[in-house]
Every structure is written in structure tokens, then in C-alpha cells.
Amino acid sequence: MVKSKFVADYQINASKKIVFHYLSTASGLEEWFADEVRIDEDKNYIFNFDNEDHYAKLVALRSNAHVKFDFFDPKNPDSSDHSYIEFKLEENELTQSLFLKIIDYSNDYQEDELEAIWEGMVGKLKEIIGG
């Protein structure tokens, strides 16, 4: 399958520190991103969507700025060209506005479907943090 890269920016009216908790912790991600998020003994994240587990490694973490999850097949962990999701917090110097940049590299959906999915999830995140 051919993977595609979806990139979108969403303005968030909250501090980086507050938003980052929801992007980088299992409990935070579980509130808006997945039905359930667990971390196994190997520090792999297990995201459950619609009763299906998806395994990911946390491959990048810069406090209050950047998180990247690299998804893999636990039956074939050495395969290449993994799907990934990246969250970046970027501040506009002039307006002091905070933006959440989402980069979703996957092969499951069309771009318009991804746009609708992310709009819904980020909307839920904004409701939770009041931003």
C-alpha cells in the first residue's frame, strides 16, 4: 500500500505545558486520541481504537515541543516504512498564538477522511483543555 502524509495546523488557546501533557502521556492521549492507551514492559505504547490494538514506539520527545510515535506490527517489528504520528507545538512569535502541527503518515484513509478525523479529535482536545 502507498502511504500518504497528512499535515495540518490547529490553533490552541492554552499553554504549551498544558497541551503537551495531552500529547505525551498515556493518560492524556486516552482522553482525546484513543479509546485506551497502555504502556507495556518494553515501553511500547499500545493505542486501542475500536477494540483493535496498535503498537507504537515513542521515537522523539522534546519537552513542551515535540512528540513522535512510530507504529509497528508486533509480529514483524523489523519491517520498514512504518506509519507514524507526530505532534509539534509551535508558537507564533508575533501573535503569541500556539499551534498544534499534526503530521500523520499512514495508509488507512483518504486526505479528506483524515482531515475530518483530526478535526474531530482536536475539537475534543480543545474542549478538554478549554482552548
pLDDT tens-digit map of 43-73: 999 999 999 999 999 999 999 999 999 999 8
**115, part of any domain:** no
Task: Please spell the DSSP secondary structure of 27-89, one letter per residue.
Answer: HHHHHHT-SEEEE-TT--EEEEETTEEEEEEEEEEETTTEEEEEEEBTTBTT-SS--EEEEEE
Number of domains in the chain: 1
pLDDT for position 1: 57
**49, part of any domain:** yes
**117, part of any domain:** no
**100, part of any domain:** no
Amino acid letter, 115:
E
CB count within 10 Å of CB 105 equals 17
The answer, yes or no, to whether residue 77 has pLDDT greater than 70, is no
Domain span holding position 47: 23-94
**pTM score of the predicted model:** 0.91
